[in-house]
Amino acid sequence: MSGAPQIAILITGDPVPEVQVARGDFGEIFAALLREDWTGEVNVYDIRDGCFPPVDSSLHGVIITGSAANVPDQEPWMVVAQEWLQVLVAKDVPTFGICFGHQLLAQALGGEVQLNPRGREMSTIEVERSSDGALFDGIEERFEANACHVDTVVALPTGAESLARSDADDHQCIRFSPTCYGVQFHPEFDGEIMRGYVAQRAELLLDEGFDPERLGERASDTPMSGRILQNFVTHLVALRGREV
């Protein structure tokens, strides 16, 4: 039996401690962002513990969060999640992966994720889109986004298309299917969250030759990238709602 329309947030990790204290966990962060564009339920499922939503008519959309974990490690929970995502995408449920979630989708659907040979991407970056379409409604050709990752999609699944790039990553946005997308950047990060990540990773960044102070100064709000998440909800999730 299906219930009220829902967007499922699939938890794959936790915010860094400073961000979690200030803004809550990923479930709370996404619920706050979705409140303006979605009137249905927002439910949280921690897939690290094998918790997944039922794939029925109540499931109008799925968002997969970022994580400090690494897809190439292929931990047991990741393998289980990849198998579940294959079924989900085949059923055309609108799905949106972010950073780790983007990479998990790529691996699940036949692509490959590895350590980015161009190095870490951190703080506010410039992204250039190469496509139009519903996801980029109202988005400029070049826009700013917040990034925090060391891995990257090195090979696309069959039939997938890269829609945006940055200097350090050729696959900032991937269309895996007409209803399934992933972004390497974080549309849910504003400047405060991004600065929290830079501060938490400061020692590591220094070891890698970065200047944490400069990265913190560069971190800013990125409303254009945030709009991409809104477009997913209003143009893909809402469309499924009208069809059901």
Of the residues 60, 99, 102, 171, only one is catalytic, namely 99
DSSP state of 208: T
How far apart (Å, rounded) are the C-alpha atoms in residues 187 and 208? 25
The strand ranges marked E within the chain are 6-11, 41-46, 59-64, 95-98, 112-115, 121-129, 142-149, 151-155, 161-166, 169-177, 180-183
Other CB atoms within 10 A of residue 110 CB: 14
186 annotated active-site: yes
Report phi then psi at 27, rounded to 5.
-60, -45
Contact 50, 57 (CB under 8 A): no
36 annotated active-site: no
Of the residues 121, 149, 173, 188, only one is catalytic, namely 188
Of the residues 102, 149, 171, 186, only one is catalytic, namely 186
18 annotated active-site: no
Give 176's Cβ-side CA count (13 Å radius).
30
Q: To which H or E segment does residue 239 belong? A: helix 238-243
Positions marked active-site? 99, 186, 188
